[in-house]
Structure 1
Amino acid sequence: MSTLEDSILGEKKQYYCSSSENESDDEGEQGNRGRTGSNLKFIPEDKIQQQTHWSGNGANTGPKGVIRDWQRYKQLETEKRDCQEQEKLDLIKKLSITTSSDSEAKGAAKQEMFDNELAELMDEDFLFQYQKKRMAELLAIASKLPTFGTLIELRDGDEFLNAIDGEQNNVTIVIHIYNHNDSACKNMNKALCELAVEYKNVKFCKFISTAAGLSMSFKSTGVPALLAYKAGQMIGNFVRITDDLGEEFNCSDVETFLIEVGVLLDKSCVPVIIK
C-alpha cells in the first residue's frame, strides 16, 4: 500500500487530488496527514478539463459585462433599423419602377400614335388630295363673288355709300377720288381701267372730288387719292399717291403698289394646283 506522498509523487502526472474535508478544519487536516489515501477522490485529467470548461449561460454584472451588453443592444437596434430602412427602400424602388413603367408605356403609346399620324400627314398623296380639296373650296367661294370688269363712275354721295355698304363682305372695293384737270388723276383712271379687267372680282370705282364735297385744298393737293374698303371697313387710305408713285406711272406701278399694301392679291403666288 502506497502512502499519500507516494500516491501524489507517483501519480501526479495523471491525477489530481481533491479533498472532501473542510480546509478550515485544522485538526481534520492534521489527522488526515497520517492516514492512507483511501478517503481521497482522484479524478482523471480529461474529466477535470470537461468540468472546468464553462458552457452555461451567466450574467457578468461587472462594468465590462455591462458595456458589452449595451454594445450588443445598440448593435441589434442598429441592425433592426437598417433592416427596416432597407425594406422601405425596396418598397419605394418597387413602386417607382411600377409607376415609371406605366408612364413610359403610356408615353410610348402616345408617341407611336403621333408618329403614325405624322407619317400619314406627310404622305405626298394625302397632302396633294388635301391641297386639291382646299383649293376647290376656295375656288367655290371665289366663284360666288360678283364680277365687275370695268371702272364704275359714282355720281354722288349716296352712290358712294351704297358702293361700300351694299356690297358683299368678301369683295374688295377701290375708289379713286380725282380731279378732271389733273394729269396724274387722268393717268390713274387709265391704270384702274386696265386693272378692273385683270381683277374682275375687285370693284374699282372713281368719284369726282367736286361731288364728294371736299375742300378746295384737298381738291388741289390731295388728289389723286385711293380709298380701299372691305366688309364696310376702310383697309387703305392713300392721299396724293403721286408721293409714292411719282407723276409718271403706269398700270404695272399701280398694281405693284396695291399688292405691297395688301389691297390686291399677288397672282404670282397662286398655287400651281389652281393653274
Structure 2
Amino acid sequence: MSGSPEIEELPATQTGPKGVIHDWRKFKLESEDHESVPSNKRELLRQMSNPKSSKDDTQEKVLHKMSVQEYEMIQEEDERCLRKYRRQCMQEMHEHLSFGPKFDVVFELDSGEAFLDVIEKEHRLTLVVVHIYDDGIRGCDALNNCLTCLAAEYSTVKFCRIRASATGAGERFSDDVLPALLVYKAGELLGNFMSITKHLNEEFFALDVENFLNEYGLLPEKELAAGPEEDENADVE
C-alpha cells in the first residue's frame, strides 16, 4: 500500500487574550479591502499586528499612540470580521481534530483500479464504505439512497459505490450476494457483508443501515464525523 499523505501542519496561532487580539488584528489587516481603507488606518493596523516593526518611535510611544487610536477603531469596527475570524479558527481546529479530509457525497467508482485505489491510497485514518451493486437487484437502489443520506451526516467517512461488473471480479459478486457492503480502513477489511438486505427489514431506511453499521462499531461518533459548518452558528458555553 502506498504511503498516506501527512496531515498538513496548521499555522501557529498565539494563545491567551493578547495573542488572540494580535492574531485578529493581523487577520483584519490581511482581509481588509485596501482600496476602501484609508492608508493611515492600514498603517495603524500594521503597527498593531507587529509593533516592533516601527523604527522611528520607541515601543512605549507606539503603544501609547495605539491605545488612543485603537479605541476609535474598535468603536467603528463591526463584528462581521471578528465572526469571520472566529469561524476560520474553529474550522481549522475542527479539521485538525477530525484527522482527515471531508467528503459529504457518495463517489461512483468506474473500474477495478479505482476500487483498489480508494482502498489502498485513501488517508490511513479515513473509513471507506463501498457498496457493490447492480441494476435491477432488489435492495440496491434503496441502499444507494441510504448511503447518500449517511454521507451527508458522516462527512469524514468516504462512501463509494461500484457496479459488480466494473470491479473486474464479477464472478465473486454474483446477483445472489448483492447488495454487498465492504468497509475498509488503512487498506484493511473491517466489514464484509454479502446480501446485506437479509440483515435488514424488507423496507429499510438510512437509520436502519446506520444502526446496523454501529452494531459492528463501523461508524465514528457523529460529533467527530460532522462537518465544521454544522457548528458555525452554535453557541459556545
**Structure 1 residues 192 and 166: alpha-carbon distance in aligned structure 2, compared to 1, 3 A threshold:** same
* Corresponding pairs, count: 140
Among 131, 149, 156, the alignment partner of 1:201 is 156
Among 227, 250, 269, the alignment partner of 2:182 is 227
Equivalent in the alignment of 1:211: 166
Which secondary structure state, in structure 1, belongs to the residue aligned with residue 144 of structure 2?
Answer: helix
TM-score normalised to the size of structure 1?
Answer: 0.46
Q: Distance in 2 between matches of 1:153 and 1:269?
A: 25
Q: Residues 131-163 of structure 1: CA distance to partner in whole angstroms, max 9, x if unpaired?
A: xxxxxxx95643441111100000001100111
Q: Distance in 1 between matches of 2:142 and 2:185?
A: 25
The one-letter code matched in structure 1 to 2:157 is V
Equivalent in the alignment of 2:146: 191
Equivalent in the alignment of 2:203: 248
Q: Does 1:265 align with 2:223?
A: no
Among 140, 149, 159, the alignment partner of 2:114 is 159
Among 136, 147, 151, the alignment partner of 1:181 is 136
Question: How far did residue 233 of structure 1 move?
Answer: 0.6
Which secondary structure state, in structure 1, belongs to the residue aligned with residue 214 of structure 2?
Answer: helix
Which secondary structure state, in structure 1, belongs to the residue aligned with residue 162 of structure 2?
Answer: strand
Q: Distance in 2 between matches of 1:163 and 1:246?
A: 30
Q: Distance in 1 between matches of 2:136 and 2:126?
A: 31
Q: Distance in 2 between matches of 1:268 and 1:155?
A: 32
CA RMSD of aligned residues (A): 3.1
Q: Distance in 2 between matches of 1:210 and 1:186?
A: 16
Q: Distance in 1 between matches of 2:202 and 2:97?
A: 35
Q: Distance in 1 between matches of 2:128 and 2:162?
A: 13
Which secondary structure state, in structure 1, belongs to the residue aligned with residue 123 of structure 2?
Answer: coil
Q: Does 1:238 align with 2:193?
A: yes
Question: How far did residue 187 of structure 1 move?
Answer: 0.2
Which secondary structure state, in structure 1, belongs to the residue aligned with residue 139 of structure 2?
Answer: helix
Structure 2 gaps, min length 5: 1-92, 226-235
For residues 11-160 of structure 1, the aligned pairs below 5 Å read 139=94, 141-160=96-115
**Which has the larger helix fraction?**
1
TM-score normalised to the size of structure 2?
Answer: 0.52
Question: How far did residue 216 of structure 1 move?
Answer: 5.2
The one-letter code matched in structure 1 to 2:190 is I
Q: Residues 151-196 of structure 1: CA distance to partner in whole angstroms, max 9, x if unpaired?
A: 0000001100111111111000000000111130000000000100
Structure 1 gaps, min length 5: 1-137
Q: Distance in 2 between matches of 1:167 and 1:269?
A: 18
The one-letter code matched in structure 2 to 1:248 is E
Question: How far did residue 220 of structure 1 move?
Answer: 1.2
The answer to whether the Cα contact below 8 Å between 2:133 and 2:164 also exists between their aligned partners in 1 is: yes
Seq. identity, %: 40
Which secondary structure state, in structure 2, belongs to the residue aligned with residue 183 of structure 1?
Answer: coil
**Structure 1 residues 269 and 208: alpha-carbon distance in aligned structure 2, compared to 1, 3 A threshold:** closer
Among 110, 116, 125, the alignment partner of 1:170 is 125
Q: Distance in 1 between matches of 2:137 and 2:185?
A: 28
**Structure 1 residues 261 and 213: alpha-carbon distance in aligned structure 2, compared to 1, 3 A threshold:** same
Larger RCO of the pair (alpha carbons < 8 Å, separation 6+):
2
